Amino acid sequence: MDATESDRPFVAVVCGNASDVQGAEHAANVLDKLHIPYEIKVLQAGSEDIEAYIEEAMSRGLGVVIVSTYYTYTDELIPSIREILLPVVRFATGPIPKSIRSASLNIPLMGFGREGAIKAALFAARVLALTDYALRLRLRAYSQPSSFASEPQ
């Protein structure tokens, strides 16, 4: 659901490069099923574009930020958004680190690949459901075990 078509709070899925978009689409599938508006943005890592985008998006009702990074040991997108007063989570599309010491933990890491993207989207949904009773009901229905079986690979 396109965030520009709604006046409800929305989720921004921010990717550091185009290769992260495929992983972000797994999060988008969950957000679509829950009828949560979202935007997927590819913004150059470490650029001022990220901060400007988030400031502008907050004026339109941005509620949660999901960051997609390739590596877990870099916070390439995060220095620009670490200080915002919104929930921010991320998932990694790249290799799983050999140890937790390899993962940068400035922003909560929801997981890796498809499963990490789904967990990040569900976290965003739970945050938005705090003030949206209808979403809370949709989330409860979606969270039944059979819902995950139908998620595309």
Question: Per residue in 85-101, pLDDT tens?
Answer: 788 887 777 766 665 55
Question: Per residue in 124-152, pLDDT tens?
Answer: 999 999 999 999 999 999 887 655 444 54
Q: What is the pTM of this model?
A: 0.80
Q: Please tell me the CATH code under which domain 3-149 is placed.
A: 3.40.50.1970
- DSSP 8-state symbol, 5: G
Cα–Cα distance measured from residue 83 to residue 102, given in angstroms and rounded to the nearest whole number: 23
3-state secondary structure at position 93 = coil
Which helix (H) or strand (E) element contains residue 109? strand 109-112
State mean pLDDT over 50-79: 78
